[in-house]
Amino acid sequence: MANRRKLAAGNWKMNGTAAALSEVQALLAAHPAPGCDVLLCPPATLVHRMAEAAKGGALSVGGQDCHAATSGAHTGDIAADMLADAGASHVITGHSERRTDHGETDEMVRAKTQAAHDAGLIAVVCIGETLDQREAGETLAICAAQLTGSLPDTASAANTVVAYEPVWAIGTGKVPTLDQIGEVHGFLRAELEKRFGDNGTSMRLLYGGSVKAANAAEIFAVPDVDGALVGGASLKAADFSGIISALEKA
- Per-residue pLDDT band for 3 (boundaries 50, 70, 90) equals confident
Please state the separation of Cα 171 from the chain's center in Å. Answer: 15
Q: What are the residue numbers of the active site?
A: 95, 165
Prediction pTM value: 0.97
Parse the chain into domains and list their residue ranges.
7-249
The DSSP symbol for 49 reads: H
pLDDT of residue 170: 86
What is the per-residue pLDDT for 1? Answer: 52
User: What pLDDT does 173 receive?
Assistant: 85
Q: What are the DSSP calls for 56-110, one per residue?
A: TSS-EEEES--BSSSSSS-TT--BHHHHHHHT-SEEEES-HHHHHHS---HHHHH
- Residue among 147, 104, 103 nearest 128 (CA): 147
- Report how far residue 133's alpha carbon sits from residue 141's, in angstroms, rounded to the nearest whole number: 9
Read off the pLDDT of residues 125-153 as tens digits, 9 standing for 90 and up.
999 999 999 999 999 999 999 999 999 99
Phi, psi at 184, each rounded to 5°: -70, -45
Query: No. of H helices and E strands in the chain?
Result: 11, 8
Report the CATH fold assignment for 7-249: TIM Barrel (3.20.20)
Q: Are 93 and 128 in contact (CB under 8 A)?
A: no
Contact residues for 161 (Cβ-Cβ < 8 A; gap 6+):
7, 9, 90, 122, 123, 124, 125, 203, 204, 205, 206
2: pLDDT confidence band, cut at 50, 70 and 90? Answer: low
pLDDT in tens, 35-93: 999 999 999 999 999 999 999 999 999 999 999 999 999 999 999 999 999 999 999 99
Helix (H, G, I), strand (E, B) or coil at 150: helix
